Structure 1
Amino acid sequence: GDRFLRRLYPGVLSQVTTAGVNILLLFLTVAMAASRPAAISSADASGVARFIASEACKKVALLTGAGVSVAAGIPDFRSPGGMYATLPADKITCSEEERAMFKREPMYVVDKGIFTHNAFPYLEVRRPFILGSIQKKWKPTVAHWFARLLFEHNLLQSVYTQNIDGLDYHVGLPDDRIVP
């Protein structure tokens, strides 16, 4: 499965392990198999790669989250060492009531209701991600370059992302293909 990607984009994928590419391709299997079951020869990385390389594949939409950026060294939100577990609630600009809520349930820091009332908690939490990207602390991963590869071959419909690290932009994807 990864030979196809390595052949199309050898400069980017030359250092990527087979397992990394296979995990990414297997992630895509579910969405594509549901929409074009007859076009996928097998529900594994090789089958997905063959489908993407075939004439049957017209567009690919990617749904991404923290998993695509963890390999860049960016912490996810929910793991033991992730953002929620290490949230410095005492240092966030907020009311005491909000602070108590963040300590009880750190996920509230990205809650839309909180944001519309007080944007500071979200913006302060997001700041290290933005600065890290600007300072090139993190580099795009194989998943980000895969999206770029699809774009270059006119196969990328959209990248629907939950990520706030900006790495989709660092590989040169246009704004109209990224849906945050």
Structure 2
Amino acid sequence: MSAKRLHLITTAFELFYQKGVHAVGINEILSESGVAKKTLYHHFAGKDELVLAVLEYRDQRFCHWLQGSLDAATSVTDKIDALFDALDDWFNDRVDALRPFHGCFFINVSGEYSAPDHPIHLQCTRHKINVAMLLREQFEALGMASSLGSRLTDDLCLLKEGAITLAYVQGDCNAALKAKDTATRLVAAVL
């Protein structure tokens, strides 16, 4: 990826994450990035294509961060602790790679592009699927049966999404720790 393209993506991400996609125009992105309009349109056919590239960028960064947070854990309970401890760090702005917490970028953007068949909405859905697959693979790597790993992943994703929403909408910086407590009780009943 060229440096200019990456600069446009990261600048657009910062603006979109802080203000929302529809609130940010191309001219603001150009002004903030210092890139010429011709250069932007050399890399992206339009704003929707830029948004898709930003979503892909954020998906890669988020999944890389989450994978790194989970990899060192060597048991199911350790993985669950690692998941919610990582979320707690994110909610409390202790993860430089994810920027200050403004909720889930994918939830926020999918709300702006609510038609389920819109390419931007579909890209947001793919991110949620990617995160679930990452979790499921972590459990299966520990030898957990696929059906149990899938069920646990579904339960944890519900808790994760609820914690993200609680942290962002209600400003509850302890939401991840509350979800971790719930997950711990859930796993104790299942395993």
Task: Place the TM-score, normalised by the shorter chain, in its bin.
Answer: 0.3 to 0.5
TM-score normalised by L of structure 1 = 0.32
TM-score normalised by L of structure 2 = 0.31
**More strand, by proportion:** 1
